[in-house]
Structure 1
Amino acid sequence: MRVPSLILHEAVSRLGRAGLAGVLVALLSVLLALAGVLPQWQAVRALQASEADAQVQVQRVQRGELKVAAKPEHQALDSLRQQLPGQPQASELIERLYHLANAERISLARGEYALGIDPKTQLARYQIILPVRGSYPQIRGFLQALLGQLPTLVLEDLELQRKRIGDSELNGRLRMTLYLSRS
């Protein structure tokens, strides 16, 4: 069914400018409603569907038809504590740290050691600050070996400096934390 253009032209001329503006505003509002409201309406419908599905799953759990295997946080923390080395092994781990430094021919000056307890997890924290001296490749190799062999060690800060531009030897400071279980 085709509307002749003459009939359409007469209808538009009868409306006048104000009527034509009204028709355009009405068309624009319909387009805006379709572009803005329709996606939101579809999103609400999807949320309602997922809410209904979640309610069905909750009812199945309450009736015992569905088992939920949730691992509480304290069980996960206990599992972590079992995997960590114990606090009595701290001196052995520090000794391993010095052996790794000797293997890379790095000199470690006397460091600072502080044992503390993490208030959130109740894990033992051995905070270590070590002055270090060696070339960049030596220090980098030492850090890679250290983090590879002591997975519970966290490198928190590394400061390196040279006295002169031409020096190949660096002076630095390592700040690390060794996490241990309290058993």
Structure 2
Amino acid sequence: MASTLSPLIWLTQRYVRQLGLPGLIGLAGIILGSAYFVLWQPTQQAALQQLERDLKLGQQQPKKLQATNPAIQGRVLAAALPPIDTLPDWLDAMADVAATTKVTLGKTQYQLSPVNGLPVQRYQLTLTVKGSYLNVRQFMQQLISGIPHVAIDGVALERASITQPTVDATLRLSFFLQGAA
């Protein structure tokens, strides 16, 4: 057995000397790449196909689960909203976002109105915001990402002069809350 391995060891040592360090690194890359395609990629491909199947299933399920009765849809929507008595907390959260983003909240007009035929109340705000353009945009982005039941209905930006660093923004917001219709 030892006599049959000696020529093989001698040939291996000869090829290693001929290849040198760059050749060995290249050979190792080829071997590792081949191992990747043979061993790792099929498992990744199978996982990707499973995710695609799950995604297709997920896209089909909501169609089956959607309520066709508008009254049921309205009750489901209302159940997902916070109660109307938490409005002061949400307004405080809005003020916290304003402080975090370094904008100043100014004059505010508000109106509470029911949403037709639903147990949902809409609290509409028109408020002025003053700050840099970037800070006003950050305020709006953090507001809608931090308070999921608020909608931005309109934005108007005004700058007195092009050299002025601050803008005056008028935002129209709607908070949607659970409440009697």
Q: TM-score when scaled to structure 2?
A: 0.60
Q: 1:103-142, aligned counterparts within 5 Å? A: 103-142=100-139
Amino acid at match of 1:170: V
Q: How many residues align?
A: 116
- Report % sequence identity: 22
1:179 and 2:157 correspond: no
1:146 and 2:169 correspond: no
Mapped partners of 1:115, 1:141: distance in 2: 26
- Secondary structure, counterpart of 1:115 in structure 2: strand
Q: 1:1-183, aligned counterparts within 5 Å? A: 71=67, 72-182=69-179
**1:101 Cα deviation after fit:** 0.3
Specify the structure having the higher radius of gyration (Cα). Answer: 1
**1:70 Cα deviation after fit:** 6.9
Mapped partners of 2:109, 2:176: distance in 1: 16
Runs of 5+ unmatched residues, structure 1? 1-67
Mapped partners of 1:111, 1:168: distance in 2: 23
- Secondary structure, counterpart of 2:118 in structure 1: coil
Amino acid at match of 2:94: L
**1:113 Cα deviation after fit:** 1.5
Change (3 A) 1:70 1:161: closer
Mapped partners of 1:160, 1:127: distance in 2: 19
Change (3 A) 1:163 1:82: same
- Misfit runs of 4+, over 4 Å: none
**1:77 Cα deviation after fit:** 1.4
Write the deviation string for residues 130-173 of structure 1: whole angstroms up to 9, x where unpaired: 11100011011110100001111110110101101111100110
Mapped partners of 2:81, 2:119: distance in 1: 13
**1:75 Cα deviation after fit:** 1.6
Amino acid at match of 1:161: E
**1:73 Cα deviation after fit:** 2.2
**1:120 Cα deviation after fit:** 3.9
Write the deviation string for residues 69-96 of structure 1: whole angstroms up to 9, x where unpaired: 7732222211111110110011110110
Runs of 5+ unmatched residues, structure 2? 1-63
**1:126 Cα deviation after fit:** 0.1
Amino acid at match of 1:129: T
Amino acid at match of 1:140: R
Write the deviation string for residues 24-46 of structure 1: whole angstroms up to 9, x where unpaired: xxxxxxxxxxxxxxxxxxxxxxx
**1:121 Cα deviation after fit:** 2.8
- Secondary structure, counterpart of 1:121 in structure 2: coil
